[in-house]
Amino acid sequence: MSSKITYDNSSLRRFEYKQNGSYKFWEIIIGTFGPNKYILETRWGKIGNTPQINIKEFSTSWDRGNKFNTLVSSKIAKGYKEVKVNNSITTIKTPVLGKQPENEISLPKKEKELRESTYRVSLLEID
């Protein structure tokens, strides 16, 4: 059985850290995965490299929203600067793999590689 993660493209936020020879990015977006499954996806890594991806599932949109705000605040406190994202993430198919540790959903390796290789955004700095 498979389902789809549907993203709320207006929630996509990207932050970059460019200090002390470090050039990193961190992104966050919310979505849904079937009925009553609320998703929070984060992507991070060195700018120019393939991102690492983490997808967590929450039982309520309220819990997901709280975690979203906590994570964003944490990145800002660490010195990350927000950049504007022009493009958006589209819906992807993800199989239901049963209960995962800590409410994480695992993407199959082949689909994850495809997702990472096709993910592109245009960025404009926000002052």
Model pLDDT for residues 36-55, shown as the tens digit of each residue:
899 999 999 999 899 999 99
- CATH code of residue 38: 2.20.140.10
Residue 43 burial by CB count (10 A; 0-12/13-18/19+): exposed, middle or buried? buried
Q: What range does the domain containing 7 cover?
A: 2-125
85 - beta bridge partners?
A: 123
What is the pTM for the complete model shown? 0.66
Tally of structural domains, the chain:
1
Q: How far apart are the first and last CA of the chain?
A: 45
**What is the Cα–Cα distance from 100 to 60, expressed in whole angstroms?**
17
Alpha carbon distances (Å) from 16 to 41, 82, 103: 17, 6, 27
Average pLDDT over residues 71-80: 96
